[in-house]
Chain A
Amino acid sequence: MSKVSEKLASLNLTAWNIAIMILWLGWGMIMAGSESFKKGFQGMNNVLIRDWIFSSETGSPVLKIWFIGLCILMIILGINLIFCTWEKIFKIIRIKFNGPKFFMLVVHAVFGFVALGHLGGLMLGYKYNNIKLGEGQKYSFEDGYEIKVAKVVYTNDHKALKKSTRYITKDDFDYRKNFAQILLRKDGRDISRDSIFILNPMRYKDMQVTLRGFLESSESDGIKENAVATPWITINISRNPALKAYLIIYPVMIAGIFIHLILTWRSSAKNKYIMGTQVP
């Protein structure tokens, strides 16, 4: 094995890289908590990162540098993972194969796919957030798709509409009773109709229409007097082709760690100490 690949596969690189990532994330936490960067992070959440990073209009340069730094660290971790898996774990398995080592290999390999799934979520598909619509209003987006709000049903006191969602209690708002009827169209043709509730979105193929909340209708928008009382809704439209795979491989990774734990739990049995009591 060459010296370069040896270094790329080393646990030293893993540990230092993770340590720097922790510091980098700490910097991110400080920025996310400060008022001056709050809007910047909101901008990151509102569109796909692919669109955010290449747009000259959105995002502060500091945030973009921070994000690129995070990506570089993740790429180094990925390279380290590939080399480590190939050079070390495979070698160990070839020499002496056993269950715990196999599951360690599975966990590391699946972690790589989880990271790729995460990247897919940031880069693939599309994302349109905070779309505010009233009854009868439409929103057009990619590939000739269009969303129409057929009906908004709001049964609770309208005072709750003025509150931040963080402070809305179950007495203010019942998320199972308030909903909106949504019509999905493509090229002018109706293709799906469904009711969306908070925490219960509408799905069509890879696309998801999510009800984020209700808000007071805007009188200044020229809506008829009788429609003013009906709240508007805020929705997010998203499509993530990597989502299903991501949701499958993530628990596989957890299961791999758990099985590895079970298989290696009793390594201490010969040491005679279990749960604080001495075993004869």
Chain B
Amino acid sequence: MLIVSYYLIVVFYLLNFILRVSGQKRFGPVANSCALIINIVELAILFKQTGHIPVYNIFESFLFMTFILGCILLFHTSSENRMGLWLSIEILILICISFFFPHEPAPSNYNYEFFYVIIFHVLRYISLALMLYSSAYYVEFIVKRERDERTRALSHLGRNFLLLSSVLFLSSEYVGIVWCQMGWGDFWMWGVTFFQSTFIVLYLMLAFHIPGKGKYAEDIKVIFGGLTGLVVLVLTVIRSFF
């Protein structure tokens, strides 16, 4: 059941992408809605099987993120820009990555029902989904900016969602600090996972502190902002090996 519904999700998100690329914009949202329904059913099955919120391995957490991005995609039916297309591509990237990982739920660790552990993971993946969403705005800005000056707003929306994802990421870090303090008696540990989190915080700081004005500086800002989703995604995959 788990595998069947997973492949159905893949098929419907792929169909959504193909329909959007081929200009069938009426049917794209239909395919997306079907994928979303199966996506939430899959998450419910995972929850029922394991008893924990499905956010603890790549398979679970990426399905959690495709669901969030799929929901956001519902709001992008306008033909004014290609946000729907970029979001569909991001969903497919998540699915492609999850394809190379075991299609099974994470073994229910003894602390997965601990409040701070749940909130830490949920906030982290919502934040990552929003980072990808902001990247979509930046990509759309890069593609459109030469044609229309109004598209400057896209860069601002990218910045807004990047800042919102930063707030959520820092909130997850704060919850993680409390968790660490309660579990180890200290809020900081020298190790890969903590370095990875700090790496992301520093990257976000860098994205918001690019100096200069004018087109060249703006280009660099947009590139750094737009790459955030990808950078964090790569770090998340690397982290799963430790």
Q: Give the contact-size bracket for chain A.
A: 35 or more
Chain A interface mostly = helix
Q: Which of A25, A237, A238, A243 touches B195 (beta carbons < 8 Å)?
A: A25
Q: Which residue of A lies closest to B203 (CB)?
A: A22
A236→B187 CA distance, assembly (Å): 13
A39-66 interface code vs B (CB 8 A; 1 in, 0 out): 0010011000000000000000000000
- Which of the segments B8-16, B25-33, B57-65, B160-168 contacts the partner chain? B160-168
Q: Is the CB of B81 within 8 A of A276?
A: yes
- B7 interfacial by beta-carbon distance below 8 Å: no
Q: Which of B75, B152, B198 touches A25 (beta carbons < 8 Å)?
A: B198
- B109 interfacial by beta-carbon distance below 8 Å: yes
Q: Is the CB of A175 within 8 A of B111?
A: yes
Chain B interface mostly = helix
- A118 interfacial by beta-carbon distance below 8 Å: yes
Q: Is the CB of B185 within 8 A of A236?
A: yes
Minimal beta-carbon separation of A221 from chain B (angstroms): 24
- A121 interfacial by beta-carbon distance below 8 Å: yes
Minimal beta-carbon separation of B53 from chain A (angstroms): 13
Q: Which residue of B lies closest to A77 (CB)?
A: B205
Minimal beta-carbon separation of B221 from chain A (angstroms): 10
- A170 interfacial by beta-carbon distance below 8 Å: yes
- Which of the segments A89-97, A224-232, A245-253 contacts the partner chain? A245-253
Residues in A with CB closer than 8 Å to B83 are 276
Interface core residue of A127, A166, A199, A273 (most chain B CB under 10 Å): A273
Q: Is the CB of A198 within 8 A of B183?
A: yes
Residues in A with CB closer than 8 Å to B99 are none
Contact of A276 with B78 at beta-carbon distance under 8 Å, contacts A121-B187, A198-B183, A246-B187 already known: yes
Q: Give the contact-size bracket for chain B.
A: 35 or more
Contact of A199 with B163 at beta-carbon distance under 8 Å, contacts A18-B209, A29-B192, A254-B170 already known: no
Minimal beta-carbon separation of A80 from chain B (angstroms): 10
- B190 interfacial by beta-carbon distance below 8 Å: yes
Contact of A22 with B199 at beta-carbon distance under 8 Å, contacts A44-B190, A171-B108, A273-B153 already known: yes
- B24 interfacial by beta-carbon distance below 8 Å: no
A175→B170 CA distance, assembly (Å): 27
A87→B181 CA distance, assembly (Å): 37
Minimal beta-carbon separation of B43 from chain A (angstroms): 19
Q: Is the CB of B80 within 8 A of A278?
A: yes
- B188 interfacial by beta-carbon distance below 8 Å: yes
A76→B53 CA distance, assembly (Å): 42
Residues in B with CB closer than 8 Å to A168 are 109-110
Q: Is the CB of A25 within 8 A of B192?
A: no
Q: Is the CB of B190 within 8 A of A41?
A: yes
Q: Which residue of A lies closest to B77 (CB)?
A: A276
Q: Is the CB of B111 within 8 A of A166?
A: no
Residues in A with CB closer than 8 Å to B185 are 127, 129, 201, 208-210, 236-238
Minimal beta-carbon separation of B178 from chain A (angstroms): 7
Contact of A261 with B195 at beta-carbon distance under 8 Å, contacts A12-B211, A127-B186 already known: no
A221→B105 CA distance, assembly (Å): 41
Q: Which of A21, A199, A264, A275 touches B183 (beta carbons < 8 Å)?
A: A199
A172→B107 CA distance, assembly (Å): 11
Residues in A with CB closer than 8 Å to B188 are 118, 121-122
Minimal beta-carbon separation of A139 from chain B (angstroms): 14
Q: Is the CB of A267 within 8 A of B156?
A: yes
Given contact pairs A208-B185, A276-B84, a sample of 19 additional A-B residue pairs in the complex whose CB atoms are under 8 Å apart = A14-B209, A15-B210, A18-B202, A19-B206, A28-B195, A32-B192, A167-B109, A199-B114, A240-B186, A240-B187, A246-B187, A247-B177, A247-B178, A268-B156, A268-B157, A273-B81, A276-B80, A276-B83, A277-B78
A residues neighboring B (CB under 8 Å):
10-12, 14-15, 18-19, 21-22, 25-26, 28-29, 32-33, 41, 44-45, 118, 121-122, 127, 129, 165-175, 198-201, 208-210, 212, 236-238, 240, 243, 246-247, 250-251, 253-254, 257-258, 260-261, 264-265, 267-268, 271-278
For this complex, 14 residue pairs linking A to B, each with C-beta atoms less than 8 Å apart, are: A15-B209, A28-B195, A29-B192, A32-B191, A33-B192, A165-B110, A169-B107, A169-B108, A169-B109, A199-B116, A238-B186, A250-B177, A257-B166, A273-B153
